[in-house]
């Protein structure tokens, strides 16, 4: 700073020098200048990215589901348990299908849901497979020793049963007229049944109704005309993925633009 002494014995400051010194940035102790405080990140783009990611994930799951169902049921393919041996000392294996309602609601898209059952004849008596109304089957096998399936898994195959004791002798199943579908064979008995509304039971027996059933059973299901539906589901999933990806990219660009501005 320049100080001039005037004739009166007082000191005069150099105002220009003082102004320059005042305008200069003041360094903090230690000589370090902190960086400027960054502006908070905008939230609009981030929200769009989150929503886009969720939509993208939903579309992916939808597409995967459509593709998996197309692989399982497309072109009339049968989802099957494969052939597995089963045996009982009683006169019949019974599987209760419960009460079926609204089975044909999607027939126009999938075709009629169809049950496929085959049983190999291992003994000398031949084998019988039939599907009948629950009340009629129970009347027919009343008092006869049977084996009721309580739990059935197709893949991997497993079966749990409950024994129903009885001393009556069953008449030959081929002589009964209540079956909605049935098959008897000395080789392989095969039933293909378009499932109907109502209460039904599936029965596997020796062809003459005798006790001691030994066979190898295969159970399957199909939706014979469902390929178009699964292709549609797959396509919808891809479209949802595309929409989610567009929203995700747009949100990322919005964030970059605002930060740069």
Residue spans per domain, the chain: 44-69+229-260, 77-224
Question: Sign (positive/negative) of CA torsion 137, 148, 207, 168?
Answer: negative
Q: What b-and-e string marks burial along 97-123, b requiring 16 or more CB atoms within 10 Å of the CB? A: eeeeeeeeeeeeebbbbbbbbbbbbee
pLDDT at residue 89 above 90? yes
77-224 folds as Jelly Rolls (2.60.120)
Residue 133's pLDDT is what? 97
**143 to each of 35, 171, 174, how far by Cα in Å?**
92, 12, 19
pLDDT, tens digit, for every residue of 54-84?
A: 888 888 888 888 788 777 777 777 888 888 9
Question: Higher confidence at residue 88 or residue 68?
Answer: 88
Residue 230, SS3 per DSSP = helix
Question: Higher confidence at residue 99 or residue 28?
Answer: 99
Q: Report, as an integer, the average pLDDT of 169-185.
A: 95
| DSSP symbols for 45-112 | HHHHHHHHHHHHHHHHHHHHHHHHHHHHHGGG-EEE---EEEEESSSEEEEEEEEE-STTTTHHHH--
Question: Higher confidence at residue 44 or residue 88?
Answer: 88
In the chain, the percentage of residues whose pLDDT exceeds 70 is: 80
């Amino acid at each position: 700073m320049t100080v001039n002494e005037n004739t009166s014995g007082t000191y005069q400051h150099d105002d220009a020098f003082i102004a320059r010194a005042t305008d200069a940035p003041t360094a903090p102790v230690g000589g370090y200048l902190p960086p400027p405080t960054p502006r908070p990140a905008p939230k609009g783009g981030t929200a769009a990215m989150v929503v886009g990611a969720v939509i993208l994930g939903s579309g992916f799951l939808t597409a995967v589901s459509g593709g998996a169902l197309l692989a399982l049921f497309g072109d009339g393919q049968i989802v099957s348990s494969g052939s597995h041996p089963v045996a009982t000392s009683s006169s019949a294996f019974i599987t209760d299908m419960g009460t079926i309602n609204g089975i044909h609601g999607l027939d126009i898209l999938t075709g009629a849901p169809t049950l496929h059952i085959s049983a190999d004849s291992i003994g000398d008596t031949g084998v019988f497979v039939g599907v009948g109304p629950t009340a009629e089957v129970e009347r027919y096998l009343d008092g006869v020793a049977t084996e009721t399936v309580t739990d059935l898994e197709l893949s991997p195959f497993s079966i749990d049963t409950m024994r129903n004791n009885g001393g009556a002798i069953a008449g030959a199943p081929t002589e009964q007229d209540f079956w909605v579908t049935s098959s008897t064979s000395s080789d392989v008995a095969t039933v293909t049944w378009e499932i109907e509304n109502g209460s039904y039971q599936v029965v596997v027996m020796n062809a003459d109704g005798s006790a001691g059933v030994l066979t190898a059973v295969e159970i399957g299901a199909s939706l014979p005309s469902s390929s178009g539906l699964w292709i549609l589901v797959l396509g919808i999933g891809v479209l949802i993925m595309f929409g989610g990806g567009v929203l995700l990219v747009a949100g990322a660009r919005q964030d970059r633009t605002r930060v740069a501005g």
